[in-house]
Structure formats: structure tokens, C-alpha cells
Amino acid sequence: MLELFLTFFKIGMFTFGGGYAMIPLIEREMIYGKKWIDKDELLEIISISQMTPGPIAINAATFIGKKRMGVLGSIAATLGVVGPSLLVIIIISAFFAKSFLNPTMQKLFIGLRAGIAALILSSVIKLSKNTLVDKLSYSIFFISLLSLVLFNVSPIFLILFFGIGCILFFTIKGDR
């Protein structure tokens, strides 16, 4: 239980930029380091985490913790991943709130945002290698991407539309 908490505490401590930026570290720790899950399980966890309310990293920690050690494992993993952020927010609000206007801090955030964008792009590339496997998955990917970027379609609508659409498609086709 302590190992689960500390592993997710480390992920929460050393990842900036939110849940999507945490995916590469979750992947490295969970698949290659601890070997608690495999790539397919990570893709499933990320998919479910995106569909459920709340931040993706917290949802992923909760699912992985539950898989490892049941309800108590989900609590330990969730507390571990949110702990560092909570500590940082308390420290920032207590001591550094005015320093955000400081020009040096503004420059720091420019660098952090660029690095975070790279982490998120890295996650997209890694996830796409196991997800984009045929014409159908490529079609769904590009239609979704264009719908999100060009037409500002709700992600919830796309998830529901393609989820239900694929259930119907494969039921009628009798495949997979």
C-alpha cells in the first residue's frame, strides 16, 4: 500500500501540466518500472479516465490503485497523486501569490508551458501507436481531430457518438 502511495506521489511530484502531461511518467512507472499494467491496460484506463468526471491523472491513479489493491489501493494511489499538487498550491498561495506578476516568473512559465506541450504531444504519439491500427481507427481519429479543432465539437459528444457508433457497426458487421 505504501509503495502504491509513494509511486503515485512521485508521479504527482515530478509532473507539471496536468493529467495528459503525466501519461508518459505513468506509462514508464506502471508498465516498465513496476510492471503493474501493460500497454493495452493503460490505453483502456486512459479511455475510461477521459469518459469519467474529474482529472485524468486522478482517475487513472484510482483505477490502477483499485486494480492493484482494491478500494484501499485506489484511495492510496489517489491521495498519492494529488498530494504534491495540494502541497504546492498551499505553499504558492501562502508565500508566492504576488510573485506571479514578477517578470522572471513570467519567463519561467513560458518555458514550463512549452515543456508541458511537448509532454502532451509525446503522450499522443505513444498512444496513437497502439490505437491507430486500421482504416476505421484512423478515420475516427481524423474526424474527431477536425471536429474538435475546426468546429469546436464537444468531446463528450464525440466519445458518445463514436462509442455507440462502433458498437452498432460491429454488431451489424459481426466482427471483432
Instruction: Supply the pLDDT for residue 64.
Output: 94
- pLDDT bucket at 176, cuts 50 / 70 / 90: low
Compute, in degrees rounded to 10, the torsion defined by CA atoms 6, 120, 109, 58: -40
| Residue 77 in grid coordinates | 494511489
**Residue 17 has what pLDDT?**
66
* pLDDT tens per residue across span 64-118: 999 999 999 999 999 999 999 888 888 877 776 667 777 887 888 888 888 888 8
The CA distance from 2 to 84, in Å, is 16
CA 135 to chain centre: 25
Average pLDDT over residues 158-166: 91
Average pLDDT of the segment spanning 144-171: 92
Q: Mind listing the pLDDT tens digit for each residue in 18-65?
A: 677 788 888 889 999 999 999 889 988 888 887 788 788 889 999 999
121: which 3 cell numbers? 504531444
pLDDT (tens digit, 9 = 90+) per residue, 110-157? 888 888 888 888 888 888 888 899 999 999 999 999 999 999 999 889
Is 60 within 8 Å of 8 (Cβ atoms)? no
Q: Identify the pLDDT of residue 78.
A: 94
